[in-house]
């Protein structure tokens, strides 16, 4: 039994946890969680009518792409081994019926075709929503100052169909209307697009962490907020109801969003379901890291790697993140 050098008192037996942390090789051997580039999805903004690319002020390193620059970026993303992109459109034209959202030659539809031409093996996912495409900035149809549910479903399904018809592998509805997954699945199947995957933003909170995105996508609500359709950040059990009903409606995969403040939710959804679950490391989560990093206050690479590890530890099978390209570069450097 161990004795104190001077006193001679007997200490209680204790565990030597530090043995398994004694060297890099030992730590590598016993590590429980890993992330890799295969887990990452890179969100991208394509802007109709833009020549070249423009950096988004509140998201340093993230750009609006015109179609030509977008093609170049698709090749860079592919070359880095990032397996998937998620597309957001910034249209020239907005109207009450969000017609640019489901136009066959809308900006997202054209970008899907371009991405598939550049690299057929890159998984192309699309965000399905109306908020960028109508002047109210809401994710559904507005009637008498209210965001109406059932009247929105047809337009949302039509949007998903047009993305899928252009060649998207995965459509990801982010509007949070009830019944959208069922409406999308039915319309895809009717149109012989039964193999297109539906990734539902099933658990999407009404979050201040979307702030920089709304600047990027020009989709801030013109009145009110999104709290009648996005979830209350205080609720966890409700997340399980959302997850289960989306699976019942035919969702193939689910997403929890945002990521950082909601890892308990990711874990709970993962445990309560048997479909793949992803998490969306959203715009303000990115911007906060970038801002601190640009000030020289944090080690960006270490912080991002720790966050990605934590998302995986909380149960995420895949991670949507604006850090995807950087993370892929860092992982490549580690390997070489």
Active site residues: 204, 257
Q: Indicate the residue among 214 and 329 with the shorter CB distance to ligand PBG.
A: 214
Cβ 139 to ligand PBG shortest distance, Å:
5
Among residues 179, 135, 183, 194, the alpha carbon closest in space to that of 159 is found at 183
Cβ 207 to ligand PBG shortest distance, Å:
8
Count the neighbouring beta carbons within 10 Å of the beta carbon of residue 262.
26
Sign of CA dihedral 291, 233, 132, 77: positive
For residue 121, count CB atoms less than 10 angstroms from its CB and return exposed for 0-12, middle for 13-18, buried for 19 or more.
Answer: exposed
Cβ 217 to ligand PBG shortest distance, Å:
7
Residues near ligand PBG, by CB under 6 A: 127, 129, 131, 139, 174, 210, 213-214, 226, 282-283
Token pair belonging to 245: 């009903």
Cβ 243 to ligand PBG shortest distance, Å:
18
Q: From CA 279, how far away is CA 266, in angstroms rounded?
A: 7
Q: Indicate the residue among 238 and 271 with the shorter CB distance to ligand PBG.
A: 238
Q: Indicate the residue among 187 and 217 with the shorter CB distance to ligand PBG.
A: 217
Count the neighbouring beta carbons within 10 Å of the beta carbon of residue 44.
21
Q: From CA 269, how far away is CA 161, in angstroms rounded?
A: 27
Among residues 132, 141, 52, 139, the alpha carbon closest in space to that of 92 is found at 132
Cβ 40 to ligand PBG shortest distance, Å:
14
- Residue sitting closest to ligand PBG (CB): 213
Q: Indicate the residue among 129 and 269 with the shorter CB distance to ligand PBG.
A: 129
| Element housing 318 (H / E) | strand 318-321
Q: Indicate the residue among 283 and 334 with the shorter CB distance to ligand PBG.
A: 283
């Amino acid at each position: 039994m161990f004795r104190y050098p001077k006193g001679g008192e007997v200490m209680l037996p204790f565990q030597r946890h530090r043995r398994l942390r004694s060297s890099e090789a030992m730590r590598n051997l016993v590590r429980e969680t890993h992330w890799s580039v295969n887990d990452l999805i890179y969100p991208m903004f394509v802007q109709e009518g833009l020549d070249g690319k423009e950096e988004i002020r509140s998201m340093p390193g993230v750009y609006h792409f015109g179609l030509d620059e977008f093609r170049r970026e698709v090749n860079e993303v592919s070359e880095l081994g990032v397996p998937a992109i998620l597309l957001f459109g910034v249209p020239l034209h907005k109207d009450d019926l969000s017609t640019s959202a489901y136009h066959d030659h809308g900006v997202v539809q054209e970008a899907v075709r371009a991405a598939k031409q550049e690299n057929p093996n890159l998984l192309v996912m699309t965000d399905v929503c109306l908020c960028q495409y109508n002047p109210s900035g809401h994710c559904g149809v507005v009637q008498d100052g209210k965001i109406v549910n059932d009247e929105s479903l047809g337009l949302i399904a039509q949007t998903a169909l047009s993305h899928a018809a252009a060649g998207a592998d995965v459509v990801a509805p982010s509007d949070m209307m009830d019944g959208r997954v069922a409406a999308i699945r039915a319309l895809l199947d009717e149109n012989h697009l039964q193999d297109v995957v539906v990734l539902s933003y099933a658990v999407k909170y009404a979050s201040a962490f979307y702030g920089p995105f709304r600047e990027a996508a020009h989709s801030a609500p013109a009145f009110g907020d999104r709290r009648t359709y996005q979830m209350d950040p205080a609720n966890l059990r409700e997340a399980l109801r959302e997850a289960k009903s989306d699976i019942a409606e035919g969702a193939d995969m689910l997403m929890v969003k945002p990521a950082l403040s909601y890892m308990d939710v990711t874990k709970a959804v993962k445990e309560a379901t048997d479909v793949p679950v992803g998490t969306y490391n959203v715009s303000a989560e990115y911007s906060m890291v970038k801002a601190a990093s640009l000030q020289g206050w944090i080690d960006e690479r270490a912080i991002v790697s720790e966050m990605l590890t934590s998302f995986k530890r909380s149960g995420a099978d895949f991670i949507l993140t604006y850090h995807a390209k950087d993370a892929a570069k860092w992982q490549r450097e580690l390997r070489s």
